[in-house]
Chains A and B, each alone.
Chain A
């Protein structure tokens, strides 16, 4: 467990014994476009303005959203690419995203929170959510979305990408559409094929990975993050098409979840 010497006196570096076991396992062959069954529920946390829980096979994520509340800080713009002449921060709302992994979510005990990977994924989450919220309607306001990954079963970024907009919609903030996230991975040679929603085993052995976030009704891509040896551009394009199709297939489940949450809220409100 790197770093946390104040609480626990232990060796500098350690690794779980699972490293040696399971080397010979090969992922079972399966239909490349199969989607895992999804369970989604919005409006489950009493203390958050909006919340959503999503379970998609392996990954389990809990998203909570608080706000809109008064924005802190001055006119400093955010760290977007090429910090330059941005519109003044007061004209539209700000979205702050936080992504955390629970220490027990992965196979080995993870590093304490705040690591580089979490900040990168929080940034990816923010960039995918910004197109969907009508932030212009909430000037000088700040919306905070926090995603907690409770279990990692492959596709760790796709699940929060799907749950966070559900939480946002649950708050009652105006949005253009929902966002659905889908992840893909490319198996290494000799059979390089793109697989939709990889399991943890498939993701570990993958040569490349891609996560797409699509707004299904508007058919616009809200987020895209991919890296690895994906091969030529045609291969990446094929992966994106597979991802978009997967997002469209997932959308009815989330739409239904959102409607059910709205009914529950409506029924609970005092008349």
Chain B
């Protein structure tokens, strides 16, 4: 039997039985890498993403002396798909990193809490994204993983001591568990809506992405505020479709945030004794 993604999407029935607004089963696990300040691994169908966050001391940027900053690096490893061999994955990596910079704005993370002493020291969070396997819908999975990793990030508490000569010394707290936890309430997640035939679908597989000529990437916060919008793909979109896709993106985004928040809190409440699955599960 031949299944057509285009005909199916008209009747709200996709090849794998999902509706147009349903996500595949998402598996999220945090604290998978021990050398980082925070990490998370997300499996969305066949898409596998690993994100590590490292907090390092840096100098604040010239135009924002009271804030810390985030830097995103995306690495498309050759194991994800053969096209990423050598420099092949660089373009996609840069595109994803640029999108991540765009979706994070002033209200996503409280950057002022990352400042240690204005103009001199601040925390710089280096977010490294590693694409382990590519199974469609990369942007959504990456944004979920980044949010989970930032939730898991623990930044050591430091104090600035000033002695008589005026020179400053930074003192790290003795207790290794005395950390600042970031609030990720306003961190957005990306929802990619692919236009297939006359309708649009959320969380497209590789097969569905191949049928889609144009997609709309919407970045939504848990309150339904849109922080970024981008049209992706070789085709064009009708203005009315864009308005519809925006509404769907907001609706789906809010549900996604609610489920993610509840899962992350549940995992954290299990405490350090929880069973870690890691890479063998």
Contacts and interface: CB of A to CB of B under 8 A. Distances in A.
Given A81-B209, A131-B235, A226 B229 contact: yes
Query: Looking at B88, B94, B138, B230, which has the most chain A CB atoms within 10 Å of its CB?
Result: B230
A127 B227 contact: no
A215 interface: yes
Contacts of A237: 243, 246
Interface string B245-271: 011001000000000000000000000
Contacts of A17: none
B230 A226 contact: yes
B86 to A, nearest CB: 10
A220 B231 contact: no
B242 interface: yes
A83 B84 contact: yes
A85 B211 CA distance: 10
B233 interface: yes
B192 to A, nearest CB: 7
Nearest to A86: B210
Nearest to A237: B243
B3 interface: no
A220 B236 contact: yes
B58 interface: no
Contacts of A232: 224-226
A111 to B, nearest CB: 14
B237 interface: yes
A192 interface: no
A155 to B, nearest CB: 17
Nearest to A95: B234
Interface stretch (A52-60, A116-124, A163-171): A116-124
A227 interface: yes
Contacts, number: 141
Nearest to B235: A131
B195 to A, nearest CB: 11
Interface centre among B134, B216, B226, B247 (most CB of A within 10 A): B226
Contacts of B84: 83
Contacts of B225: 229-232
Contacts of A13: 62
Interface string A78-105: 1111111110000000000000000000
B209 A84 contact: yes
Nearest to A228: B105
A215 B207 CA distance: 29
Interface residues of A, number: 48
A233 B226 contact: yes
A218 B238 CA distance: 9
A223 interface: yes
B239 A219 contact: yes
Nearest to A239: B229
Given A15-B62, A229-B106, A236-B246, A81 B229 contact: no
Contacts of A218: 236
Interface in A207-242: 210, 214-215, 218-233, 236-237, 240-241
B222 interface: no
Interface of B: 62-63, 81, 83-84, 88-89, 91-92, 94-95, 97-98, 101-103, 105-107, 134, 136-139, 192, 204, 206-207, 209-210, 214-216, 219, 224-239, 242-243, 246-247, 250
26 contacts: A79-B88, A81-B92, A81-B95, A81-B209, A83-B134, A116-B101, A124-B230, A127-B232, A130-B235, A131-B214, A131-B235, A132-B236, A219-B239, A221-B236, A222-B231, A222-B236, A224-B230, A224-B242, A226-B228, A228-B105, A228-B228, A230-B225, A233-B246, A233-B247, A240-B243, A241-B239
Given A222-B231, A229-B105, 10 more contacts: A81-B233, A82-B136, A85-B207, A120-B98, A131-B236, A215-B236, A219-B239, A220-B238, A225-B229, A232-B226
10 cross-chain pairs, A with B, having the tightest CB-CB distances, nearest first = A79-B91, A220-B236, A84-B206, A131-B236, A224-B231, A227-B228, A120-B98, A130-B234, A79-B92, A227-B102
